[in-house]
Amino acid sequence: MTETFDPRALAARLHGLHQAGHQEATSTFALPADLHQAMEVQNLLAAADGVSSNAWKVTVSPQGQAVAAPLHPYAEAVSGADIPWYPGLKFETEIAVRLGSDLPIRAGTAYSRTEVVGAISAVHLGAELLVSAVSESGSVSFLLFVADRLGNSGYVLGPTLEKSVVDTVGGTPLKVTHAGRTIYDGPAQHPKGDVLTWLIDYANDGLRPETSLKAGALITTGTLSGAIELTEPGDIDILLGDARLSFSVSKD
């Protein structure tokens, strides 16, 4: 029931499960009743996790509500990135964009794709790591998944790409190896076709925080490779066209 929901208790439980590398079923959690409660928990969890990056993921709920969550731990591959490995950890190749100007909440006319592209100052190859404290991730309660930072458990920012990649990346040859084995070899494919779909949706969401989508923010845009489970620690090498990103996932 809404009146008995304790956001701090849920955030503490999610944090503890992540620290231990454990997952629990949705049925064992007290569930947020709405997006406001889910975001309250997410903010408390981000504080407990010590999130300090200005890096975010965006997506849309099954009901069409745009949502975001911070990326943590965040690393840049040029500094020798190493992300913790846990059982159930999944990997996604992604494109990330850096905003060069604000996209403030506005009433009336929606942001066009051209306007969103115009706010982008840089484009990067990136990799997201995911493992939720909820064993079903968001398939039973998407609000619980929002509270759990949309399952994010790490992000590695790779090299700068041509800005035009946001228009042309679909179909680009993509090969990923992990621990010496090929885990993806095929065309880059975003679930929505256009890598900017969810960012545009979020830009046009009147419920997002006033502080969101400011200049300097890094936004990752969704998988180009599907979500691939990493069954063991090891080095990852991504080749997207001529761009390469290499990093490691390892046990603490």
3-13: burial string, b at 16+ Cβ within 10 Å, e else: eebebeebbeb
Kindly state the average pLDDT of the residues 133-162: 95
Output the furthest CA–CA distance in the chain (Å, rounded). 54
Kindly state the average pLDDT of the residues 77-103: 92
What's this model's pTM, rounded to 2 decimal places?
0.94
pLDDT tens-digit series, residues 175-205: 999 999 999 999 999 999 999 999 999 999 9
Kindly state the average pLDDT of the residues 15-36: 94
Q: What is the pLDDT of residue 1?
A: 41
Q: Which domains does the chain have, with CATH numbers?
A: 2-250 (3.90.850.10)
Residue 218 has pLDDT above 90, yes or no: yes
Residue 107 has pLDDT above 60, yes or no: yes
Residue 2 has pLDDT above 60, yes or no: no
**DSSP line for the chain:** -GGG--HHHHHHHHHHHHHHT--B-GGGSPPPSSHHHHHHHHHHHHHHHT----EEEEEE-TTS-EEEEE--SEEEGGG--EEE--TT-EEEEEEEEEESS-----SSSPPPHHHHHHHEEEEEEEEEEE--SBTTTTSS-HHHHHHTGGGEEEEEEEEEE-TTHHHH-TT-EEEEEETTEEEEEEE---TTSSTTHHHHHHHT-TTS-TTSS-TT-EEEEEESS--EE--S-EEEEEEETTEEEEEEEE--
Q: What is the pLDDT of residue 85?
A: 92
**Confidence label for 78 from pLDDT (cuts 50, 70 and 90):** confident
Distances in Å between the Cα of 94 and the Cα atoms of 46, 104, 140 are 22, 24, 25
CB 77 within 8 A of CB 41: no
Kindly state the average pLDDT of the residues 53-78: 93
Residue 93 has pLDDT above 90, yes or no: yes
Report the alpha-carbon distance of residue 223 to residue 226 in Å, rounded. Answer: 6
